[in-house]
Structure 1
Amino acid sequence: MPKRKIPNLDDPYEHALPKPDGDPWAVILKPEMETDKIQCDAWKEEVQTLLIFAGLFSAVVTAFIIESYKFLQPDPNDAIINLLTQIANGPNATVTTSLAAGGSMSPVSLFTQKSSSVRINVFWFISLILNLTTVLVGTISLQWLREHQAYPGLSPKQTLAILHMRTESLKAWYVPQIFAMLPLLLQGALVLFLAGLIDFTLPLGQKLSIPIACIVGFILLFLAATTILPAF
């Protein structure tokens, strides 16, 4: 039996593999690009939906803040009412002297901010800040994704290398966690707005505040159940 020759590295293959059609780097790159596109499209769709809701929600919160902010400032009409009340009650030397000198009673000295008004504005201002933060981070995130998917004039081999580098960079910079945080920011803003809404309706009577509190409680219960229970 003839002794089998040990092949060298430069010897031709006895059973050569068929050469693939096209660039092998392009074949490897295609499924990687498809997987990356699916993930990026999911992020884009979620962020764009959040931005639409955040824009509408900001308009609603701003309208309520415009009204509630008035409760933190003295009403100029209160000074006039106080003066007319004192004049109607009888002569007052101090008031008469003040009026003759062209002065007026300061409404600031008679005005005190209610704790409920301060609390309502704190809720709604923080809600607006969280809402605007969601818009800001969401807009920047969309810019990240646009640059992440840009490969101008690169070969398949270079594109594959850069894709791997960018994917690792997204993980290193916690970009997936940032996208997951955006709905939580918006939910927190909504919870604060609803809490302020309940506080806003309390002085208006139980017939109005109790139904609103019940509906808000049901919404918060649903939110807690769908957010916390899946974690267990």
Structure 2
Amino acid sequence: MSDVLKDSTIAVKGGKDVRSRFWATHMRVAEESEGEFLERHNSDMDIVLFFSGLFSAVNTSFIISMGTDLVADPSDTTNALLTQLVQIGLGNLSAPGTTPAVPASTWSPSSIDIWTQAIAYASLSVSLLAAFGAVMGKQWLGYYKASRYGHGSPEDRGRRRQMKMDGLNVWHFEAVVHLFPVLLQFSLLLFGISISADLWYQQRSTAWVVVATVVFGVLFHSFTILASLSSTACPYQTPSSAVLRLCGVDSMSSLYASMATLSSLTFNI
């Protein structure tokens, strides 16, 4: 690498020794490479923040609309009381004692409504967690950009920059940053499951449209992950495939081996 840098036309050769030219060229090449690195990840974090904000608003509206399923309808109590008043007015004094005065006291939400709401709240929580992670990611990137060089001679600044870059690799910075879009995708999946389950028990003909859309989205995303794992030249690279590669699943055979291991562990348990 030193020979390439020494022969590079980027370096200013006049009046400098080989060592100075090396570190000057190193700084210029590093600046170009890290500029692309910072721009890419900052752009990813901006996308996560923007989409999570819109998605959280939609999810919250959906949760509010479903919230009526977890509480008793006040009109039921009103109708029951009016019925008793009518019966009393007609002289049927024994009728009021045959039914509860307040139907809400014996009402409870169905298990389907509870699970649907739980999944919707889980979706909202995961999307907010992704947004929180994106904010932290932008802070990490800003700190790295501000402190990567420091002060001193070109050699000292170059060594400090290399130390910072090695720290990114040791602490798996890219894997952590790639998790935030994955969390957002998982949140979207939970939202699809929740709205599909809610519609399924209300209007199945409408629910089929949502279920088909969710299934198509899951299959399409799974296809892009499998395609990206089959070849690094595949253009359908996603944060999920990047995380899988960093976890050691860098090919289809590795994915099948991991799935087989997980299945055997589950069967043994």
TM-score w.r.t. the length of structure 1 is 0.79
Aligned residue number for residue 20 of structure 1: 13
Shift in Å at residue 78 of structure 1?
A: 2.1
Aligned residue number for residue 7 of structure 1: none
Distance 1:217 1:88, change over 3 A: farther
User: How many percent identity over aligned positions?
Assistant: 24
Distance 1:175 1:56, change over 3 A: same
Shift in Å at residue 70 of structure 1?
A: 2.1
The partner residue of 1:118 within 114, 118, 124 is 114
Query: Residue 68 in 1 paired to residue 61 in 2?
Result: no
Task: State the AA in 2 paired with 1:48.
Answer: D
Deviation >6 Å, runs of 4+: none
Shift in Å at residue 92 of structure 1?
A: 4.4
Shift in Å at residue 26 of structure 1?
A: 2.1
Q: Structure 1: any 5+ residue segments left out of the alignment?
A: 1-18, 97-103
Shift in Å at residue 209 of structure 1?
A: 1.5
Aligned residue number for residue 162 of structure 1: 160
Contact 1:130/1:185 (8 A) holds in 2: yes
**Higher RCO (Cα < 8 Å, 6 or more apart):** 1
The partner residue of 2:51 within 53, 59, 67 is 53
Aligned residue number for residue 139 of structure 2: 143
1:166-224: CA deviations, max 9, x gaps? 11222232211111111210110000001111112123323212222222221221122
Q: Which structure has the bigger radius of gyration?
A: 1
Contact 2:120/2:191 (8 A) holds in 1: yes
Q: Give the RMSD, CA atoms, in angstroms.
A: 2.4
1:125-145: CA deviations, max 9, x gaps? 011111001100111111111
Distance 1:225 1:26 in 2: 45
Contact 1:76/1:107 (8 A) holds in 2: no
Distance 2:213 2:74 in 1: 37
Aligned residue number for residue 11 of structure 1: none
Q: Structure 2: any 5+ residue segments left out of the alignment?
A: 1-11, 230-251, 253-269
TM-score w.r.t. the length of structure 2 is 0.69
Shift in Å at residue 157 of structure 1?
A: 2.5
Aligned residue number for residue 84 of structure 1: 82
Distance 1:148 1:81, change over 3 A: same
Distance 2:135 2:58 in 1: 20
Equivalent residue of 2:13, what SS? coil
Distance 1:150 1:76, change over 3 A: same
Contact 1:124/1:196 (8 A) holds in 2: yes
